[in-house]
Amino acid sequence: MGDAAFHTARRISLALLMGAMPLVAINLMTLSAHGQANSNSAAVGKVTDATGAVISGASVHVINNATGAERIATTNDNGDWSIPNLPPASYRVRIEKQGFKTSQIPALDVEIGKTANGSMVLGVGETSETVEVSTLPPQLQTQEATVGQVINQKQISDLPLNGRNVLQLATLAPGVSPAQTGQTGSPGRFGTRSLFITVDGGRGSSTNYVLDGTYIRSVRFNNMSLQPDVDALQEFNLLRNSFSVEYGQGQSVVSMVTKSGSNSVHGSAYEFARNSALDARNYFATTGAKPEFRRHQYGGTVGFPIKKDKLFLFGGYEGLRTSRQTPIYAYYPTQAQLGTPAPDNLVAQVINPTIPVVTSTVGIYPGGNNYVANQTTTDNYDEYTIRADQTLSSRNSLFERYVDFNSNQFLPTVQGGINNTLIGRNGVIGHTFLLTSNIVNEMRLGYNEYFNFENGVGYKPGTNYASMEGLKFVTGLTDPTQFGRASVAITGFTTISDPVTNQGGNENIISFGDSLSFVKGKHTLKVGFQFQNRRVILLADNNATGSFTFGPCSSNPTGACDPANKINPATSKLYTALENYQRGYCTSGCNGNFGTTRGHYRDNTYAAFISDIWQMGHGLTINAGLRWEYTAPFVEQNGLEGTLDPTTGKIKYSKVPSFIPSAFLPYVVTDSTYSPGIVKPHKKGFGPRVGISYEGRPGTVFRVGGGVYFENINTNELQFTRYAAPLYYQQSLSNKFVKDLFPDPTLGSAGLPAPFSVRPNNAAPYTMEWTASVQQDLGHGLILELAYTASATRKLWKRYDQNMDLLHPGLDSNGGSNTDNVGVRPFPAFQHGILTTATAATANFNGGSAKVEKRSKHNGLFFLASYQWSKNLDNNSGEVEANDTAYSTDFAFDHSYARFDVRHRAVISGGYELPFGKGHSMLQNGIGNVVAGGWSLQPAVQLRTGYPFSPSRSGVSFGTYTPGRVNLAPGRTLKSAFKDNPSINSWFDPTAFVDPGGSVQGNVTRNTLRGPGTAQVDLSAIKTFHIYDRLNAQFRAEAYNIINHGIFSQPAANISSTSSVGKISSTSADNRSIQLAVKVLF
């Protein structure tokens, strides 16, 4: 698809999504509730008489209680009926057969991604007689082997969710490891929110996110591209293992469905507020005033009919306003200290002499040496949701939904601040066509836009400091994103620089999918096709104005300052850091960044699938399917992609860059056979999936399943095709006068600046999953599930320094030791630090879980309790973990526990209406009803053991982006490093490890120690006031970490830092915080 076609398709998609809303309002179109989100939901059942004999030819009517939409089926020769592709909702099921009384289930709940059981027994009599069935059959999963968890609307509405972050719902299920920063809305990189999850051993990037059948995921980091409004959600489903072939690009799926309008007006209005006055102190902040914190989250929803049983609208808005006081501390030289220039001073060397140095550095800050201020961290967003559902005819229905999410986060720094902007837009049009009563076609057209940008906000935003300060080595800057301030570090003082590198991205994805479902006898067949056109712009401009460190000269002949420039002739002493700054002598970290890494990429993805649910009889069902996926390589629109060829040691391009520095000429080549992108195309991406369920006796279901699941290609790794000379390179020098920076790169003893690289023949990551489980109906609405889940993942992304010294772990095949090849680089023309991205990581997961669940039917009682034991092993735990590979020659050495491995985890959540007040057994009238009536309690308790971490050391000299592993001390074992009673001041015994020396790697692998576990109890207390008819008001008090338990971060693990090693000095989540809310429901 070319640019013109893409932009035309984009405009058409947005026009359809936005333009259809007013068309609906004037009733030019007609939509229906069964056009709701594609959810893979269904209803099935068996019809028998009182003797157990099956009844064929019975008419089954399934009617949506909210909208009146109806689907009809007929029982087959085995008495079975099936209706696929039902939107999640409450349905009335009516079954009629001549010679039998009509039987009816008034409310059968069809949940997202689940199959509801509407089996009934018909009594002999006239069809005019109607029998209402009050006891439903057990809602066990008899049609598939999927392991997952549905969170229904009551759970979504009532359970305590700090920040109303929808992903917290996933943490209620077994198999989930939450990775969480602070819960106070602190900004995350590139506009991401503060909560991520890993599911059954998968990485945080291995989960796909779906809203109404359309992806809402950034393809850069695979995080959600927007945060759905909790009040606009009807249901939430986490698919952990062995799920349908309809889902791709992930080894787990979070699927959500938005609410729709109905025949009655319904909605909500609310405000949730948090204030530091009600919060407990941070565990480590025992004195002084608490930082001021304010959070207001407010909004509302409304759904209503335009035309009964035909046309419905739903809309919602949510806003967030968060502020938190953040103390800023800095220490600077005084203007007097900087006012006396030394000979060959910085002013003459690097800055226009007519502009005083204090104008561009210290002079912008108030006061003298000490700078102290309270700045405000903010986190704000506005989100709008609109949806229309309508019936075009008895066979045609349509729905449209659009979400617009705009977020801005600001983190203050001494140089100004970091601004994170995130804009997410997602829309979908869905059409459902009933060709016959047993053949259904569904079509989806979707659009997802994701813009995120992280930029520094300095003293004068948009000012070209390079030009203003006359930086002589920086020329030709025209892009405002490169106008940042040079980083100046003077030993003993706070660094002056831009607060952050300007970087981010913009993604536009158009998707289309179509599926056909066909019910024939014992079979429910489904075939489908999916397509995506993806456009991605990556922005990652390192500070073009460079960075400089001015330290004191060292008496060591090989230390800071070359011998001819160590002694100040005026004092006969070594130059101090300030004197080196004044004379413009950079002692270390003199870095110049040249070029840009921004790129414009595009690709297409294709998928096709076929599945069959075969009800074989006698309680046995087989669900088998096959999915095919193909992802074309991402192509940079200007053809400027390069990488290091490991066979020649040269940087190759398919198209020669316009300018090549002379030193790089021998090492930059063009290759017409160079394939673009970061993954080799694979047209045989077939993923079979199968599930078998067996209901041997009523109330017990045994299930086994497995399959192959391909993961999405993380487009963040595309930047590795641009971090290569001459498109971009960094030159790092030391002991140089600034006036000499930066010469044309030369091949000195250290080598040329290292490029980044992409390993040839990378392949698409994939996971093999399998599971075995049993479900048991315990009666009274209780269901017990025991499950074993496992996976083996291959071709995961991994980063490593391809040019680290050729060390070997222990003895190599020639009998050498790990001290061999010290200082020997594979590519001696380049420095250390050829950071390479490769699909070279592996992972294995095994877990067992037990779960008991009860849905709310009476007394508002519901709960979900689970326990999981698991073991998760890998040799790298995330795409961006660059410093996690010990040896470039042996990835097996890194095989250990995954960073997010949790051995034990237990979760209990639920709700209970207290038995007081009108309609309950106690205090039904008078003051007792007023005070005690209408209360409900909803707790959420999470307990887990600690995450693993790695002991480390400083002073690594054999590579860049390389971890410093340690050795076990003589006579010590790894077990001896664990303490029987660890404390925050001494979590482990660092004397169990020793530093092997800077030129060799240690023998203790990664993630061998364990950090602190957590025990968190959240609670919401809700008081409901009945006002009139269906109008109710709620007062809510929600407490997070109500037991005020310290939720600690990992301990310091660097044995070179003897004063801090083994100590814990921060928390990963807040101490107790309280949120109050008012909500109106109608």
- Residue 279 and residue 294: Cα distance in Å, rounded? 11
For residue 975, give the 3-state DSSP assignment: helix
Close Cβ partners of 150 (under 8 Å, ≥ 6 residues apart):
111, 112, 113, 114, 235, 236, 237, 238
> Which helix (H) or strand (E) element contains residue 15?
helix 3-25
- Residue 130 and residue 127: Cα distance in Å, rounded? 7
Close Cβ partners of 566 (under 8 Å, ≥ 6 residues apart):
553, 554, 555, 574, 575
- Residue 857 and residue 900: Cα distance in Å, rounded? 37
- Four-CA torsion 80, 84, 88, 93, nearest 10 degrees: -30
Residues 512, 215 contacting (CB under 8 angstroms): no
Specify burial of residue 870 (Cβ count, 10 A radius: 0-12, 13-18, 19+): buried
292, 293, 463, 958 from 1067: Cα distances, Å: 18, 17, 38, 34
pLDDT in tens, 605-642: 999 999 999 999 889 999 999 999 999 989 888 888 88
Residues 509, 445 contacting (CB under 8 angstroms): no
Structure tokens, 1041: 């970490």
Residue segments in the chain with a per-residue pLDDT below the cut of 50: 6, 9, 12-38, 180-193, 342-367, 811-816
- Residue 766 and residue 709: Cα distance in Å, rounded? 6
Residues 485, 361 contacting (CB under 8 angstroms): no
- Residue 717 and residue 633: Cα distance in Å, rounded? 12
Q: For Cα atoms 1046, 1048, 1054, give the angle at the middle one, nearest 5 degrees.
A: 150
Question: Where does residue 764 fall: left (phi above 0), alpha (psi -120 to 50 degrees), or beta otherwise?
Answer: beta
* Nearest one of 880, 801, 758, 1068 to 204, comparing CA atoms: 880
Encode 1020-1061 in three state secondary structure: EEEEEEEEECCEEEEEEEEEECCCCCCCECCCCCECCCCCCC
Task: Specify the pLDDT at position 296.
Answer: 97
- Residue 542 and residue 540: Cα distance in Å, rounded? 6
Number of residues that this document lists for the chain: 1082
Task: Specify the pLDDT at position 769.
Answer: 97
* Nearest one of 703, 864, 905 to 147, comparing CA atoms: 703
Greatest distance between any 2 Cα atoms in the chain: 115
At 1077, the amino acid letter reads A
Close Cβ partners of 785 (under 8 Å, ≥ 6 residues apart):
773, 774, 775, 776, 849, 850, 851, 852, 853
For residue 1069, give the 3-state DSSP assignment: coil
pLDDT in tens, 1006-1024: 999 999 999 999 999 999 9
Encode 131-180 in three state secondary structure: EECCCCCCCCCCCCCCEEEEECHHHHHHCCCHHHCHHHHHHHCCCEEEEE
**N- to C-terminal Cα distance for the chain?**
47
> DSSP characters for 284-305?
T--SSPPPPEEEEEEEEEEEEE
Handedness of CA 155, 62, 239, 220 (dihedral sign): negative
Task: Specify the pLDDT at position 474.
Answer: 57
Task: Specify the pLDDT at position 3.
Answer: 56
Tell which CATH classification among 3.40.50.970, 2.60.120.680, 2.60.40.10, 2.40.50.100 matches the domain 33-132.
2.60.40.10
The residue whose two tokens read 């991401």 is 192
For residue 19, give the 3-state DSSP assignment: helix
Task: Specify the pLDDT at position 466.
Answer: 61
